[in-house]
Structure 1
Amino acid sequence: MGFIKPDLPSVDPTTFLQQPLMERVRILGADWAENGFGSPKMVHCIYLLKVFGLYAIGGITIATLTSGLPAFWHVAQWWNQPIVYQKAILWTVLVEVIGIGGSWGPLAGKVKPMTGGIWFWARMGTIRLRPWTWVPLTSGSRRTAVDVLLYLALLASIVVALVMPGAQSDSLSAAVPGNATGVVAPALLAAPIVLLIIIGLRDKIVFLGARGEQYLPALTFFAVLPFVDMIIACKILIVVVWVGAGFSKFGKHFSNVIPPMISNSPAVPFTWIKRLHYRDFPHDMKPSRVATVMAHVGGTFVEIAAPLVLLLSTTQWLTVAAVALMVCFHLFIVSTFPLAVPLEWNILFCYATVFLFLGFPAWHGYAPWNMSPPWLALVILAALLFFPVLGNIRPDKISFLPSMRQYAGNWASALWTFTPGAEEKLNRVTRSATNQIDQFEGAGYEIPWNEIVLQKTIAWRSLHSQGRGLFSVLLRNLPDIESRTVREAEFLCNSIIGFNFGEGHFHNEDMIAAVQDEAQFLPGECVIAWVESEAFGSGVQHYKLIDAALGVIERGTWRVADAVEAQPWLPDGPIATHVDWVRPGRGHGART
């Protein structure tokens, strides 16, 4: 991998694109296993400068400067100051809701421009997606002046809370005598809280882009709880996030996540280490025992056991060890540069782990049973578990982010297909970016290498369980699949709505209908295979075949076990699917 130039697949570009679709998937899947996305190392350096320069040093500087604390390099004098922790949360929300945090830049499919977020969300006419159709005053799929004003007001309210000096707190003074910096004035947090809720009911894109499912509870705790209860509630919150993510890794999906993640890591210098995560590279590309152990010991077990130790331990050495383990856990994720690039989120969790569990340890009166009254801890825990529990039972109703299924491999996802020339119609959609094929060409990827690089993303999808099911649905239903352009929905979604974080609900039939309003595809020109996450313990995933012009034309299921056991390029043919419903009289080459 070069510093400036990308690591391109070792193929003849002209003849490669003439090969059958699944043969291309096989070749590019093997290339991913050795080289990941193949991005120049310069790209990773840009991300590191952003996360450690702009985000970390910039955020600490703002927090300390506006709170009367010494400069950022005097770590011992600010790391355990409550107002710094509060402003770190506010700064992170601001960075995320502007669009320069997660899902930013080339690794998320954003090249020109590298930023989605504000360029889409502060513009009228761009696509807005409401989370639930039953909520009044939320109809429509385009941003209005009201939506733009609400978004800009949210930005302004966060900035105000971030830059204002601290306010004295009697509860803080009682718990930490002599503290002179105070806390963020609770009154200043009312506007961001209310605006996040209002915006969230009208537009799930902005709410989830702000990571509202995690930061809204924290802001609420800052605003309404006395100091000791606030700290304990934030501990419960971060533990719910960790344990929820760990719990979601039970099942058959997660082992498939580890190999392509490791393969994409610039911190892994040796190809043989990457190959070690596949059973028999390149012949058997299912996860090896090494990958499975890494997934469920280094992932599932650590993400459940260590947080519970942190929450309940009153033993100093054990707590310090668990803190070190979780900090290393998040730094490891940063080193892999996952495609949603949630680097800021991971750095925040490193700091929050140290601040909450070492700055205010359980043995100093900050254990769950120290809340006043003690049963309040159970109430907060129950409230925080509501969406994770519901989302795992009914993944069709709740985003995988509030469901706390971050990077568990159990995702809603999709593959879009276009007949020759039809993809260009996406440029009719009101947005602040062009099609990614054009963005990559503008970034220096010559034709047809821009096409090959984008096809690596569908090969990446095939390395995960749901990708094999999606390709199976397309192969069974589209006799003309070899002449179609196939696109990974998560990347495509980024260029249309300015954000994606692995959330398949962002590109479901609601978004497809909004695209169709302007793109005006003819029947058969744009056909999408879309699948919902597996409901906990169900063993199946529910898919939809969607024609952009006609709507849903088929519904069915496949067994997760079948998807997991198949090779990414489906050499034995499509996995079995069970068709539940077919649109009457559907045609255009689709299976009847």
Structure 2
Amino acid sequence: MGYFVPDLPPDNPADIVRMPTFERIRYLATHWVDYGFGTAKKTHVGYTVKVLIYAILGITIATVTTGAGAPWGVADWWSEPIVYQKMVIFTVLWEMLGLGASSGPMAFRFSPRVGGHRYWLRSGTLRNPPWPGKVPFTKGGVRTEYDVALYASVILSLVVILVLPGVQSTSMAAVHPEATAGLLNPVLLWPLLVLAVVMGLRDKVTFLAMRAEQYLPAVVFFAALPFTDMIVACKLLMIVIWVGAGVSKFGHHFTKVVPVMMSNAPIMVSKTLKRKLYKNFPNDLRPSPRASGGAHILGTVVEIVAPLIMLFSTNHTITLFAVLLMVAFHITILLTFPVAVPLEWNAMFAFVAAFLFLGFPTWDGYAVSDMSSPWLTAGMIAALCFFPVLGNLRPDLVSFLPSMRQYAGNWASAMWAFAPGAEKKLADKVLMSSPNQVDQLGAAYGYDLAEMLLQKAIAWRAMHTQGPAMLSALSRNLDDIDRYTLREGESMIANLVGWHFGDGHLFNELLLTEIQRRAQFEPGEVVVVWIESQPLHKNYLEYKVIDLGLGVIERGTYTVKDAREPQPWLPDGPIPMNITWTRSSTNESSLTVESR
């Protein structure tokens, strides 16, 4: 891999683009095994520098504004809980501005490289309320001046909390007298919480972008609980996040994630090792036993067992080992540079693992049993587990983020198919956060190369469990799939709503309705296949095919087994799918809105 030059396929991009769809997928999936996206090393260095800026700036603000010590004096501020509190607030601000996850070229953002605030501070852009038919004053799919003001108010609230010093806490002084910088003022936290919830009811995209499911419970604990309860509650929050993510990785989805992710990791330099993650390169690109074992031992088991040891261990050596394991776990994920690049999130969690579980260990009075009431403990665990349990049983009701399915490979997904000229029509009619990716790349590198790189994203998706189902449904519903331009749903949503994190719930039928209202596509111009996550207790997934000019034209199900067995290029044709409903000529011709 070159530092300045990416690793591209050897053939002419124009020839690759002209290949039939499934021949092109095979060609690009095979290239993926050795090179991933083929990103030049300078891009990874740029992301690394960004994470360092995040960490240095965050620690500097957290220490200087509180008097906890100099940023480089770790021994001075390590015992100050307000540093942890302010790092949480700073991380929320960083993500809300669009500087964290979903930024840069590895998140399909080439020029400009940041969405977020550039989109959410503009009225007239798309928004996606979670329950528009049930929550008053949230209907519609257009961002208004009111939404812009809400978003700006959340940003202002975060800034105020960051710049003001802490206040003294009697509950902390009683058990942790060595801390002198105080804690965040609870009076400042409640407005943030209220504003964030109101903003989220108007637009779930901005709410999820602040990683509310990860950080807002901690802010509630900062505002409402005495010191010991706050520390233990934050530990429980971390455990639910880790264990929930670990449990969600059981099954076949995550097995397919690991080899594809490691093929794209710059730390994985050996082609030989990469190829060993697949059964029989280049003819069989299903995960090898090595990949399956690594996924469920180094991934699933570690993410469940190590956090539980950290929570309950009373032995310093054992706790230290478990903490180091989780720190290494997050640093490894960070260094793989996964799609959507949640690098700051992984850096933050590595920091929190050490700060909470070594800085406030169980043997110093911060065990679960040290909470002030067993009823509080039980209620806290039930509240923290509510959305992960509901989201895994009814994924149609909860985003995969509150469901704690980070990088489990099991999330709502979509693939778009554009007839000739339709993608330009979308860009002309819909106010987006940035131009279509093909235009971003094409202006700099030429349109054939740009198109080839975007088609590599289709090959990437085809190597996961959702890809074969999407391609099968499109093959059946398009008159000629080779006539259409396919686009990965994550790349589409990055432009349309200013942020993405691999969740198809960000562009459900409500959002597609608003797009159709503006663009007025003819039947057959734009077709989207949309797949819901697999419920934990079922062996099948639900899908729907949506023609933006007609509405939903097909619904059905397919089994995970049928989706994980074929090669990405579907050499044996479409996978078996149980079609439960198709649109007849008597159905309405408008796009049906199904609120989520």
Under a length normalisation based on structure 2, what TM-score does the superposition of the two structures give?
A: 0.97
8 A contact 1:21–1:482 mirrored in 2: yes
Deviation, 1:179, is 2.2
Instruction: Report Cα offsets for 1:227-286 as digits up to 9, x if no partner.
Output: 000000000000000000000011111100001100111111111111111111111000
Q: Does 1:435 align with 2:436?
A: yes
1:107 is matched with: 106
1:137 is matched with: 137
Deviation, 1:514, is 1.6
1:389 is matched with: 389
Q: Secondary structure at the match of 2:414?
A: strand
1:46 is matched with: 46
Q: Secondary structure at the match of 1:557?
A: strand
Number of residue-to-residue matches in the alignment: 585
1:175 is matched with: 175
CA RMSD of aligned residues (A): 1.1
Question: Residues 195-206 of structure 1: matches in 2 within 5 Å?
Answer: 195-206=195-206
8 A contact 1:425–1:520 mirrored in 2: no
Q: Secondary structure at the match of 2:475?
A: helix
Instruction: Report Cα offsets for 1:158-204 as digits up to 9, x if no partner.
Output: 00001101110001111111421001111111111111111111110
8 A contact 1:368–1:374 mirrored in 2: no
- Find the aligned partners of 1:314 and 1:84 in 2 and give their Cα distance: 25
Percent identity between matched residues is 52
- Find the aligned partners of 1:555 and 1:337 in 2 and give their Cα distance: 35
- Find the aligned partners of 2:8 and 2:197 in 1 and give their Cα distance: 44
- Find the aligned partners of 1:92 and 1:178 in 2 and give their Cα distance: 26
Deviation, 1:12, is 2.3
Q: Secondary structure at the match of 1:359?
A: coil
8 A contact 1:412–1:531 mirrored in 2: yes
Deviation, 1:586, is 8.3
Question: Residues 173-572 of structure 1: matches in 2 within 5 Å?
Answer: 173-427=173-427, 428-442=429-443, 444-572=444-572
Deviation, 1:477, is 1.7
- Find the aligned partners of 2:343 and 2:193 in 1 and give their Cα distance: 24
8 A contact 1:166–1:181 mirrored in 2: yes
Deviation, 1:19, is 1.6
Q: Secondary structure at the match of 1:4?
A: coil
Q: Does 1:581 align with 2:589?
A: no
8 A contact 2:79–2:178 mirrored in 1: no
- Find the aligned partners of 1:292 and 1:80 in 2 and give their Cα distance: 41
Instruction: Report Cα offsets for 1:368-414 as digits up to 9, x if no partner.
Output: 11000133111101001000111011101100000001110111101
8 A contact 2:79–2:179 mirrored in 1: no
8 A contact 1:157–1:192 mirrored in 2: yes
- Find the aligned partners of 1:260 and 1:517 in 2 and give their Cα distance: 37
Instruction: Report Cα offsets for 1:533-574 as digits up to 9, x if no partner.
Output: 011121111000001121111100111111011111110111
- Find the aligned partners of 2:446 and 2:270 in 1 and give their Cα distance: 28
Amino acid at match of 2:335: S
Amino acid at match of 1:110: R
Deviation, 1:479, is 2.5
- Find the aligned partners of 2:260 and 2:79 in 1 and give their Cα distance: 37
Deviation, 1:313, is 1.1
8 A contact 1:553–1:586 mirrored in 2: no
Q: Does 1:117 align with 2:120?
A: no
Under a length normalisation based on structure 1, what TM-score does the superposition of the two structures give?
A: 0.98
1:95 is matched with: 94
Which moved further from structure 2: 465-474 or 177-186? 177-186
Amino acid at match of 1:56: A
- Find the aligned partners of 1:158 and 1:12 in 2 and give their Cα distance: 49
Deviation, 1:585, is 2.0
Q: Secondary structure at the match of 1:487?
A: strand
Instruction: Report Cα offsets for 1:62-90 as digits up to 9, x if no partner.
Output: 11110113222111111231000000000
2:63 is matched with: 64
Amino acid at match of 2:434: A
8 A contact 2:438–2:447 mirrored in 1: no
- Find the aligned partners of 2:154 and 2:369 in 1 and give their Cα distance: 35
Amino acid at match of 1:314: T
Q: Secondary structure at the match of 2:466?
A: helix
Instruction: Report Cα offsets for 1:203-236 as digits up to 9, x if no partner.
Output: 1000000001111100000000000000000000
- Find the aligned partners of 1:489 and 1:420 in 2 and give their Cα distance: 18
8 A contact 2:68–2:180 mirrored in 1: no
Instruction: Report Cα offsets for 1:327-348 as digits up to 9, x if no partner.
Output: 0000000010000100010000
Q: Secondary structure at the match of 2:447?
A: coil
8 A contact 1:232–1:366 mirrored in 2: yes
8 A contact 2:441–2:447 mirrored in 1: no
2:6 is matched with: 6
- Find the aligned partners of 1:522 and 1:493 in 2 and give their Cα distance: 21
- Find the aligned partners of 2:18 and 2:269 in 1 and give their Cα distance: 32
8 A contact 1:437–1:454 mirrored in 2: yes
1:82 is matched with: 81
Deviation, 1:513, is 1.3
2:592 is matched with: none
**Structure 2 unaligned runs (5+)?**
588-596
Instruction: Report Cα offsets for 1:491-539 as digits up to 9, x if no partner.
Output: 1110111100011111222221121121221111000111000111211
Amino acid at match of 1:15: D
- Find the aligned partners of 1:262 and 1:348 in 2 and give their Cα distance: 22
Deviation, 1:416, is 0.1
Deviation, 1:445, is 2.1
Q: Secondary structure at the match of 2:499?
A: coil
Which moved further from structure 2: 471-480 or 226-235? 471-480
Deviation, 1:141, is 0.3
Amino acid at match of 2:345: W
8 A contact 2:439–2:447 mirrored in 1: no
Q: Secondary structure at the match of 2:445?
A: coil
Amino acid at match of 1:577: M
- Find the aligned partners of 1:241 and 1:361 in 2 and give their Cα distance: 19
2:72 is matched with: 73
Amino acid at match of 2:394: R
- Find the aligned partners of 1:34 and 1:308 in 2 and give their Cα distance: 36
8 A contact 2:104–2:110 mirrored in 1: yes
2:590 is matched with: none
Instruction: Report Cα offsets for 1:126-173 as digits up to 9, x if no partner.
Output: 100011231111001011111000000000000000110111000111
Q: Secondary structure at the match of 1:257?
A: helix
- Find the aligned partners of 2:261 and 2:152 in 1 and give their Cα distance: 36
8 A contact 1:121–1:151 mirrored in 2: yes
8 A contact 1:205–1:499 mirrored in 2: yes
**Structure 1 unaligned runs (5+)?**
588-592
Instruction: Report Cα offsets for 1:418-460 as digits up to 9, x if no partner.
Output: 1111110111211231111001123x32220000000010100
- Find the aligned partners of 2:500 and 2:273 in 1 and give their Cα distance: 30
Q: Secondary structure at the match of 2:92?
A: helix
8 A contact 1:387–1:402 mirrored in 2: yes
- Find the aligned partners of 1:503 and 1:21 in 2 and give their Cα distance: 25
